[in-house]
Amino acid sequence: MKIPFSPPYINKAVIKEVNDALESGWITTGPKVRKLEELVCKYTYSPNTLCVNSATSGLILALKWYGISKGDEVIIPAYTYAATALAVIHVGATPVMVDIENDFNISVKQIEKAITTKTKAIIPVDIAGWPCNYSDINKIVNSKKKIFQSSNNNQEKLGRILILADSAHSIGAKYKNHFLGTIADITVFSFHAVKNVTTAEGGAVCLNLPKPFNNQEEYDYLRCYSLNGQTKDAFTKSKAGGWKYDIIYPGLKINMPDILAAIGVAQIPEYFEKTLKKRLNIYAYYHNFFSEKPWAILPPCIDDDRVSSCHLYALRIKNISETTRNIIIDKISQQGVATNVHFQPLPLLSLFKEMGYEINSYPNAYNNYKGEISLPIYPQLTKEQLEHIVLTVEKAVETSL
């Protein structure tokens, strides 16, 4: 039995929507993108959403919007995908890495210790779809207002450190009974091919800025900025007499095309109404099986404040070395089950080692990583496949300990 790790969810509705885009004769940014933005707002209750070509681009765009540049610091977790740090580097700022908690998410205590007068933003990352502790992060940010030093109009208006959520994994997750997208100042979702909702490549920037910001006005600015600072997109320019445009910002070229947005347009309603529940059911199946195993550390799914989007099932094996974990993965693979590891902490990667980050400074990140095995979790999995997965993992672990 061959079980892939994370195939995209493509059904007849997706194919129909993509064909509709192809047959329309319009495949770059246009009505499908706008429809996808509206659907994200509808289902997450976000005031405004801009779709872009990747979550990485969305993070870069948000950092640029806040005027973050050389000399500024942005706090991020050491345990995340490289894009979180690369977005900071690409705007010229310094990523300040801090350790994580046992639930994989950024440590609030370490955030507080890391804040300086140079701190302009914090990027909490909802690992595996599990929301960060946003209430405590907000408290810390508000307590540090006195030392915040603004250097432009947006920073002056907000008057504090920006909370920019890297929610690449967590569309559909809830924090205190609210969907993510309405919790942080700005929330960035990923629609990459392996995500719960996909557009093959893509991302969404959800605006939830407090007054005196007008989220619609900021959306209009970001939309223009994401299209090279051009005042008209290609769809508008194609209308009779609509050829003339202006360039008003030194923008980026990070817009999402309609042909990709069509996939998301088909997926989002079904995701929120059906397939998200299927993911929760698979989580429950894994939980019920592995809760009986003394060697298993189960990933968080639901508590009084949070509900996961169940993007990853990040199983950990107690008290094992990285080498043993890798042996277990090889044994699982031999039985046709594809697994993964999320993530290698950033200080283990060559780029960040060369920048001076050392893994010894992030013990929790390394301890979580060395025993972690991500299991397949997607709505197409059958009962037979799930049974094969858990029995395969059980045997691989118990013959390796």
Active-site residue list:
195
Distance CA 128, CA 109 (A): 21
Distance CA 5, CA 377 (A): 8
Distance CA 348, CA 253 (A): 31
Q: Which residues neighbour 211 within 8 Å (Cβ) at sequence distance 6 or greater?
A: none
Burial of 112 per CB tally in 10 Å (0-12, 13-18, 19+):
middle
Closest CA to 146 of 119, 127, 165: 119
Cβ atoms within 10 Å, residue 310: 29
Residue 127 DSSP symbol: G
Closest CA to 163 of 145, 179, 184: 184
Both tokens assigned to 332: 């699982």
Closest CA to 126 of 173, 64, 68, 67: 173
Q: How does DSSP assign 354-397, residue by residue?
A: HTT--GGG-HHHHHHHHTEEEEP--TT--HHHHHHHHHHHHHHH
Q: How does DSSP assign 53-103, residue by residue?
A: S-HHHHHHHHHHHTT--TT-EEEEESSS-HHHHHHHHHTT-EEEEE-B-TT
Q: Which residues neighbour 48 within 8 Å (Cβ) at sequence distance 6 or greater?
A: 37, 41, 206, 207, 215, 216, 218, 219
The angle subtended at Cα 80 by Cα 37 and Cα 93, nearest 5°, is 80
